Structure 1
Amino acid sequence: MQIDLSGKHALVTGSTGGIGYGIASRLAECGARVTLNGRSEDSVQQAVDALQSALPDAALGGIAADLSVPEACDALLSHLGPVDILINNAGIFGPQDFFEAEDSLWQKYWDVNVMGGVRLSRALTPGMVDRGWGRVLFLGSESAFNIPADMIHYGVTKAAYVALARGLAKRLAGTGVTVNSLLPGPTLSDGMTEGLNPEAGQSVEDAARDFVMQNRPSSIIQRAATVEEVANMALYAVSPLSSATTGASLRVDGGVVDTL
């Protein structure tokens, strides 16, 4: 299966590390011109430099912007130009008991995990419609359906992203622009790795496996997914090959969500 994204411009938000960086790498490997994004100039430049070193022929750029701030979104858009592929990946997560989660925390998660994607999609999809082709992908999570009791605020924002993707897909029906959400499960990304505490002599992969079996025992693969496995699904979803896939919640959760 050959995927050729030559001539396509992709924006991947929150792509200075983890799943976002992995997706950006796969898109660039397939010929897309990729704009990376993060909240700081330094982190963006480091990510661009690292990816350029790995893929010397790739067409890469980077724009720093905190997408939870409307003015920062506007500034990013003013420097961006037309986009054919939009990956709404930027997000935050962290445990907090429901009864200790104040309004300010809920608002922060809503601004970061939802509104950045809303603003960028609202601004960039009309151009895709005019050109008759486009791909939008919202990074949800298995937590959208399997709401964590210790991260209800996070799960709610991911459920919102799934609903947003479905609704926008219907709004853009018949235009040649597809919109989907991607639902990773536990993934061996930078964030997960930082939170693990491997025992002496234990590999990160084995520590992640133990975490999955303790916290997501419904996992069928019985391990954490790799960033590359998630990025491969994202690549398909934004490729020309996925033209009949829209309004879908694409699971790459290792079978954690126990439903047909």
Structure 2
Amino acid sequence: MKIDMSGKTAVVTGSTNGIGLAIARGLAGTGASVVVNGRTEAGVDAAMLSITTVVPFAEVRGVAADVSTATGCAKLVEAVPSTDILINNSGIFEPNDFFDTTDEDWTRFFDINVMSGVRLSRAYLKGMFRRNWGRIVFVSSESTLNIPTEMIQHAASKNAQLAIARAIAKLTEGTAVTVNSMLAVPTSFEGVETFVNELAKQNGKPEEQAVAPVVEQHRSLPLIQRFPVV
């Protein structure tokens, strides 16, 4: 199927690696003008090079901004005042014992996993309404359904994200703007590998035996029973 997004601008937060980078690369392949976002200039530059290496004709630019903060979101919106497509992908995850998870940890998770999407959707949605076309996608998690006891703060923040996306979607009734959520499963990239290896250590398992028991015990929802590669 040929998807043509020529003439459309797409902002993808947290797109210097993993799922975000794969989405940015895919959108560039459809002809969209893609805005790569990450916290550092070096990470953004590397991601843009990665995209243009695979998609030589890509129209891609980057904005280094920490969207877990109001200041970072404002910096991104100042650099890109309008967009047709917003992919709220920025997010964090890590295994934490519930009793050891501090108030600061909870706040950190909600700042990046929830408030980044709130602030950017609020900034860009009215423009989509004026043009009567737009797409907002929240990259949530299968942890909203299969809640892991080792990542309660992550699951709670991702469930909040689902609720926000569903409510915003109701605002789009009668327009050509859509808002959806994607329930991502763990994928094989550096951040997930660190997470899996940490769990393996906690369970007294060698790293080479890490993935299978983690999938079986903690991530049984994906039918393929392994971590997809992006």
Q: Does TM-score exceed 0.5, indicating one fold?
A: yes
Contact 2:95 2:195 in 1 (8 A): no
RMSD: 2.0
Is structure 2 residue 220 aligned with structure 1 residue 217?
yes
CA distance in 2, matches of 1:54, 1:168: 34
Aligned to 1:2: 2
Aligned pair in 2 of structure 1 residues 122, 222: CA closer, same or farther (>3 Å)?
Answer: same
Partner-residue secondary structure (3-state), 2:86: strand
Provide the rounded CA distance (Å) in 1 between the counterparts of 2:113 and 2:101: 16
Percent of aligned positions that are identical = 47
Q: What is the number of equivalent residue pairs in this alignment?
A: 224
Q: In structure 1, how many angstroms separate the alpha carbons of the residues matched to 2:169 and 2:18?
A: 26
Cα separation, 2, equivalents of 1:217 and 1:78? 42
1:226 equivalenced with 2:223 (yes/no)? no
Q: Distance in 1 between matches of 2:225 and 2:216?
A: 6
Q: Is the Cα contact below 8 Å between 1:37 and 1:44 reproduced in 2?
A: yes
> What corresponds to 2:57 in structure 1?
57
Is the aligned partner of 1:89 residue 2:89? yes
- Contact 1:95 1:151 (C-alpha < 8 Å) held by counterparts: yes
2:4 counterpart SS class: coil
Alpha-carbon displacement from aligned partner over 1:87-135 (angstroms, at most 9, x marks no partner): 0000111011111111111111111111011000000011111111100
| Aligned residue number for residue 185 of structure 1 | 185
Q: Which has the higher contact order (CA 8 A, sep 6+)?
A: 1
Cα displacement (A) at 1:19: 0.3
Name structure 1 gaps, 5 residues minimum.
Answer: 228-260
Equivalences for residues 78-227 of structure 1 within 5 A: 78-197=78-197, 208-227=211-230
Q: Which residue of 2 aligns with 1:242?
A: none
Superposed displacement of residue 53, structure 1? 2.0
Alpha-carbon displacement from aligned partner over 1:17-40 (angstroms, at most 9, x marks no partner): 000000000000111110000011
Alignment TM-score, normalising by the size of structure 2: 0.91
Q: What is the TM-score when the length of structure 1 is the normalising length? A: 0.81
Q: Cα offset for 1:73?
A: 1.1
The answer as to whether partners of 2:168 and 2:179 remain within 8 angstroms in 1 is yes
Distance 1:98 1:113 in 2: 18
- SS state of the match for residue 149, structure 2? coil
Quote the Cα distance in structure 1 between the aligned partners of 2:105 and 2:194.
Answer: 22
CA gap of 1:215–1:62, structure 2 versus 1, over 3 A, is: same
Q: How many angstroms apart in 2 are the aligned matches of 1:13 and 1:55?
A: 19
The answer to whether the 8 Å contact 2:146/2:221 transfers is no
